[in-house]
């Protein structure tokens, strides 16, 4: 890492980028090296700028933040292989308004080192940047609370999603069984498993939770 922490911000809202720039530039140990307004530009510019810390929004038009994180991590891995393992990956700190636990977990799984909810940015952001720059994991209080309140759903298999989608269309168990060419008992078992994975009390609640967690469209 350079003497100053090189910070790059990716956010589609100009007011957020302006605020982050002012905050970062006010710190003697940090410098803002660039800004991007969407995930695709963030990926492209990150490869050129090689920042120490990337502040990444999740919800952006075009390429979202989670996809951008995956791409940046993949690019750095391939770059390290080409250079004999000498290329350092940037620390990625998610800066978002989202308190949807699946969004936050997906960002961390993609390779982010931490999450700060924008409502806490004034008091938490600078410390979080320094922590990520030092290869530490960090989550703000609101991010931790969101994940504890609404634990990320276990993954549903493609067939389990298809069964829930059929339930959402109002089909009965015999109708779903005929649709998939299996027994009614098999469909009951699959719906029961979906309920267990989603933490739902019944099939109606399972469908509602699947929509809320973006598992059904």
Within this chain, do residues 204 and 140 fall inside the same structural domain, yes or no? Answer: no
Within this chain, do residues 98 and 124 fall inside the same structural domain, yes or no? Answer: yes
**Residue 110: predicted pLDDT:** 85
| Residue 115, in any domain of the structure | yes
In the block, tokens 């391939």 appear at 78
**Residue 43: predicted pLDDT:** 96
Which one of 149, 184, 199 terminates a domain? 149
CATH number at residue 81: 3.40.50.2300
For the chain, give the mean pLDDT. Answer: 87
Write out pLDDT tens, residues 57-68: 999 988 999 999
Which carries the bigger pLDDT value, residue 107 or residue 44?
44
Within this chain, do residues 111 and 141 fall inside the same structural domain, yes or no? Answer: yes
Within this chain, do residues 189 and 85 fall inside the same structural domain, yes or no? Answer: no
Write out pLDDT tens, residues 169-193: 999 999 999 999 888 988 998 898 8
Domain count, the chain: 2
Mean pLDDT of 158-162: 88
Mean pLDDT of 131-148: 83
Rounded to whole angstroms, the Cα distance separating 102 from 12 reads 21
Decide: pTM greater than 0.95: no
Rounded to whole angstroms, the Cα distance separating 97 from 118 reads 5
The total of other beta-carbon atoms located within 10 Å of residue 136's CB is 12
Q: How far is CA 217 from the centre of its chain?
A: 18
Which one of 149, 175, 193 terminates a domain? 149
| Residue 93, in any domain of the structure | yes
Within this chain, do residues 68 and 164 fall inside the same structural domain, yes or no? Answer: no
Domain that holds residue 49: 5-149
Within this chain, do residues 95 and 186 fall inside the same structural domain, yes or no? Answer: no
| Residue 217, in any domain of the structure | no
Task: Note the helical H segments in the chain.
Answer: 14-25, 39-49, 65-82, 101-110, 121-133, 141-149, 158-168, 173-180, 184-198, 203-212
End-to-end CA distance of the chain: 43
In the block, tokens 């276990």 appear at 154
| Residue 144, in any domain of the structure | yes
Rounded to whole angstroms, the Cα distance separating 35 from 13 reads 11
Within this chain, do residues 145 and 164 fall inside the same structural domain, yes or no? Answer: no
Within this chain, do residues 41 and 118 fall inside the same structural domain, yes or no? Answer: yes
Write out pLDDT tens, residues 30-76: 999 999 999 999 999 999 999 999 999 999 988 999 999 999 998 88
Within this chain, do residues 127 and 23 fall inside the same structural domain, yes or no? Answer: yes
Within this chain, do residues 172 and 145 fall inside the same structural domain, yes or no? Answer: no
Within this chain, do residues 107 and 54 fall inside the same structural domain, yes or no? Answer: yes
| Residue 82, in any domain of the structure | yes
């Amino acid at each position: 890492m350079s003497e100053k922490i090189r910070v790059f911000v990716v956010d589609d809202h100009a007011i957020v980028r302006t605020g982050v720039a002012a905050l970062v530039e006010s710190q003697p140990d940090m410098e803002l090296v660039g800004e991007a307004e969407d995930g695709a530009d963030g990926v492209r510019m990150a490869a050129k700028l090689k920042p120490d810390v990337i502040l990444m929004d999740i919800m952006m038009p075009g390429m979202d933040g989670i996809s951008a994180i995956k791409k940046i991590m993949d690019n750095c891995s391939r770059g390290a292989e080409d250079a004999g393992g000498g290329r350092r990956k940037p620390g990625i700190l998610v800066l978002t308004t989202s308190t949807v636990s699946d969004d936050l977990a997906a960002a961390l799984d993609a390779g982010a080192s931490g999450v700060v909810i924008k409502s806490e940015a004034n008091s938490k952001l600078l410390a979080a940047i320094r922590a990520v720059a030092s290869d530490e994991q960090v989550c703000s209080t609101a991010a931790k609370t969101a994940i504890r309140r609404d634990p990320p759903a276990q993954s549903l298999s493609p067939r389990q999603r298809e069964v829930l989608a059929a339930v959402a269309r109002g089909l009965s168990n015999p109708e779903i069984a005929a649709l998939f060419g299996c027994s009614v008992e098999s469909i009951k078992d699959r719906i029961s498993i979906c309920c267990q994975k989603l933490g739902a009390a019944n099939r109606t609640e399972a469908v509602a939770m699947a929509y809320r967690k973006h598992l059904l469209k």
